[in-house]
Amino acid sequence: MEIVMSLLIGILFMSATYLMLSKSLLRVIVGTGLLSHGAHLLILTMGGLKTGAAPLLGQNAESYTDPLPQALILTAIVISFGITALFLVVAYRSYQELGTDNLELMRGKEGNE
Amino acid sequence: MNSLIVLPLLIPLFTGTILIFFAKNTLTQRWISAAGSILMIIVSLWLAATVYNEGIQTMNLGNWEAPFGITLVSDMLSALLVVTTSLIGFVCLLYSFRYIEKEREEHFYYPVFFFLLLGINGAFTTGDIFNLFVFFEVMLMSSYVLLVLGGTKIQLRETIKYLLVNVIASALFVIAVGYLYSVVGSLNMAHISVRLAEMGQSGIITVIAVLFLIVFGAKGALFPLYFWLPGSYYAPPAPVLAMFGALLTKVGIYSIARTYTLLFNQDVGFTHGLLEVLAILTIIVGVIGAIAFSDIKKIIIYNIIVAVGVILFGVATFTQESLAGSIFYIIHDMNIKAALFLLIGIVIKITGTSDMTKMGGLIHRFPALAWTFFIAAAALAGIPPLSGFPGKVLIISSGFANGNYWGAAVVLLSSLFVLFSAMKIFMNVFWGKPETYANQEKVPVKWLLASPAILTVFAVLFGFGTEALYPVIMNAAETLSNPEIYINAVLKE
């Protein structure tokens, strides 16, 4: 199972890298979304995918899945959610202000302070 | 158990939270933020004194035993960096009172400022690798907001680039933590160190070490990953730039120093050899940038990159003496970079440009500004009685003692070019024919100059008081070069 997950994560990272190297800003943001998906799945996989009950003590199972990676992912998800929201708003604002979403055209240093 | 250690985190957290409620009342905001900032300095000095007298302070949050809960650890290095951060935070705040426009002040400038300080202090004090990631994000999130606040074209453009680079670096951090967790099965840094030492050297650990170097190198502007820094740091106003230049990259450097002394100290030949090569290349790139530009902001920005290289060269040499040199140098550099950015902020405010070919003769009207800049520039280059000297001497002499003649020679030569770049600013901006500028009467130079003057006086005292500070710095270097002390303090075996 871990092998399949690793391949999947690899494909996600590949697509993310490809998208982040493109010119359009929205594609780049979609790329960062895929990148964080890949990273979160990677933590889950690296914590081990051995079968066990969900980490709830009420289940009275013999073994449980590792609760730590799930807590890490939950933290990482909300952080990347916050940053993606900010990124989208900055992209929207800069589309209004600069009139383009082409990263090649975002050059120069005029308009300082 | 010592709850003193958590106060440098709680004070900015609560100050920032309270400030949110007074968004439209700038005068109240200023008073509260000044009070919070002074309290931070007092508490951090108290913490440093406690660490010096009683050894490493640790605190297990929620009374969970060491590897299972989150542990905050304050050794001498963290305590010193927290003191420096608090001091720089205070002077930048003082400077912001008159420099930042009312519009920006009303849009949560001060709350975000304090959240930035919270992130930095947290990153310096944490003993848990995932908690370090979280504090990095607190710091970065505040820095995005401070960078874009105001919403001018250049700020929007550069924020997009800065955001993208840091989103990628943060994803890599998560990936690196995932790999490390799968190999070691722990997140507490002291516990990871014990487990890694038990496992001995294996290839995967070296790979993870390099992955961490890439992550922290991207945050701290190490050689192939410095490309985002010159553009992004060009955008924000002077006090924000001073905070970024003095503190943000140094958190990356601190993390490299911490991980490469505490965790990845098994295959030193490869990992520290790589770090050394990258540090030297960083110095060379920084020096080329510093002498190439005629824009005063750009020159000082490239000087950040030079300093990153010098500090990491000391870490890569990995002896107690060179680590002491790096600690001397990192504190000096945080202090002096903040001073220089605040000084050129005044110059830009007076002249209305950052191109030094378009200015001249400021020494006639503003002699105090000129001489403060001169002393700061001399300290930057490491002229003996000032603060840049002791660190560089220790780094270079231990470089030579370990037979790394080329590296030490590059560090030595870099000082010359750094001095050249800083004096180029001094001669072009302050000497020559006086010119009149449109808004030079309106700038409150006396008030603004107070902040960099405090830092410059601190640099001079730091230089003259090297003898008094030496035992403190050696205490910090001993913990770094001898991870047993750290591990025993955290795990209490």
Q: For residue A87, which residues of chain B lie inside 8 Å, CB to CB?
A: 160, 163-164, 167
Is B100's Cβ below 8 Å from some Cβ in A? Answer: no
Q: How far apart are CA B411 and CA B475, in angstroms?
A: 25
**DSSP for residue B343:** H
User: Looking at the complex, does the CB of residue B153 fall below 8 Å from at least one CB of chain A?
Assistant: yes
- Tally of CB atoms within 10 A around A26: 13
Q: Which residues from chain A sit within 8 angstroms of residue B144, using beta carbons?
A: 83, 86, 90
Structure tokens at B229: 């820094």
Percent of chain A that is helix, strand, coil (3-state, to 5): 70, 5, 25
Residues 6+ apart with CB under 8 A from B446: none
According to DSSP, residue B357 is labeled G
Count: domains in chain A: 1
Across the interface, do A90 and B153 touch by the CB < 8 Å criterion? no
**Model confidence at A112: pLDDT above 50:** no
CB-CB under 8 Å, A42 with B175: yes
Alpha-carbon distance of B245 to B226, in angstroms, equals: 13
Q: How far is B101 from chain A (nearest CA, A)?
A: 11
Q: How far is B259 from chain A (nearest CA, A)?
A: 20
- Pick from A40, A75, A106: CB nearest B160: A106
B231 to chain A: closest CA residue:
A109
Residue A18 in any domain: the answer is: yes
The pLDDT tens digits along chain B (493 residues) read 578 999 999 999 999 999 999 988 999 999 999 999 999 999 999 999 999 999 899 999 988 888 899 999 999 999 999 999 999 999 999 999 999 988 899 999 999 999 999 999 999 999 999 999 999 999 999 999 999 999 899 999 999 999 999 999 999 999 999 999 999 999 999 999 999 999 877 899 999 999 999 999 999 999 899 999 999 999 999 999 999 999 999 999 999 999 999 999 888 889 999 999 999 999 999 999 999 999 999 999 999 999 999 999 999 999 999 999 999 999 999 999 999 999 999 999 998 888 888 888 889 889 999 999 999 999 999 998 899 999 999 999 999 999 889 999 999 999 999 999 999 999 999 988 887 777 667 788 888 999 999 999 999 999 999 999 999 999 999 999 999 999 999 998 6
User: In this complex, which of A25, A32, A112 lies closest to B154 when CB atoms are compared?
Assistant: A112
Instruction: For chain B, give the number of residues.
Output: 493
Looking at the domain assignment, is residue A110 inside a domain?
A: no
The helix (H) or strand (E) run that includes residue A12 is helix A2-20
Q: Select from B150, B168, B178 the Cβ nearest to the Cβ of A43.
A: B178
Distance from CA of A76 to the nearest CA of B (A): 8
Measured between beta carbons, which residues in chain B are less than 8 angstroms from residue A32? Answer: 164, 167-168, 171
B235 close to A (CB below 8 A)? yes
pLDDT at A16: 97
B178 neighbourhood in chain A, CB within 8 Å: 39, 42-43, 45-47, 69
Q: Which domain holds residue A22?
A: 2-50+66-100
- pLDDT for residue A107: 77
> Measured between alpha carbons, how far is B250 from B492 in angstroms, rounded to an integer?
29
Rounded to a whole number of angstroms, the distance from the CA of A61 to the nearest CA of chain B is: 22
- CA dihedral (B55, B60, B65, B67) in degrees, to 10, reads -80
Residue A42: the pLDDT is 95
Question: How far apart (Å, rounded) are the C-alpha atoms in residues A72 and B211?
Answer: 19
Take residue A31 and report the two structure tokens written for it: 């790329």
* Nearest Cα residue to A80 out of B147, B168, B85: B168
* Under 8 Å between Cβ of B186 and B128: no
pTM, entire model: 0.95
Report H helices in B100-152. Answer: 102-106, 109-125, 129-148
Judge whether A92 lies within some domain. Answer: yes
A7 domain-assigned: yes
Contact criterion met (CB < 8 Å) for A112 and B130: no
Q: Nearest by CB to A47, from B150, B181, B237: name it.
A: B181
Q: Is there a contact between A36 and B171 (Cβ–Cβ < 8 Å)? A: yes
| B162-181 residues touching A, CB cutoff 8 A | 163-164, 167-168, 170-171, 174-175, 177-179, 181
Contacting residues for B231 by C-beta, under 8 A, at least 6 apart: B158, B161
The minimal CB distance from A94 to the residues B160, B168, B182 is found for B160
Dump the DSSP string for B262-324: II--SSHHHHHHHHHHHHHHHHHHHHHHHHH--BHHHHHHHHHHHHHHHHHHHHHH-SHHHHH
Interchain CB contact of B160 with A (< 8 Å):
yes
Contact residues, chain A, for B148 at CB < 8 Å: 90
Pairwise CB contact (< 8 Å): A93 & B137:
no
The verdict on a CB contact (< 8 Å) between A98 and B153 is yes
User: What is B138-149 written as a DSSP string?
Assistant: HHHHHHHHHHHT
Under a CB-based contact definition with an 8 Å cutoff, are residues A81 and A44 in contact?
no
Residues from chain B that touch A80, judged by Cβ atoms under 8 A, are 167, 170-171
Write down the pLDDT at residue A110.
57
- Reduced to 3 states, what is the DSSP secondary structure of residue B161? helix
ipTM of the predicted structure?
A: 0.95
Q: Tell me if A45 is assigned to some domain.
A: yes
pLDDT interval class at A78 (50, 70, 90): very high
Contacts of B170 in chain A (CB under 8 A): 79-80, 83
One-letter amino acid identity for B185? G
pLDDT given for residue B329 in this prediction: 95
Residue A57, domain member (yes or no): no
Q: Where are the domains of chain B?
A: 3-491
Asked if B234's CB is within 8 angstroms of A94's CB, the reply is no
Nearest CB to B181 within list A38, A46, A108: A46
What confidence score (pLDDT) does residue B432 get? 83
How far is it, in rounded angstroms, from Cα A13 to Cα B341?
39
Does A106 map to a domain?
A: no
B chain contacts of residue A43, beta-carbon cutoff 8 Å: 174, 177-178, 181
Query: From the list B130, B153, B163, which residue is nearest A72 (CB)?
Result: B130
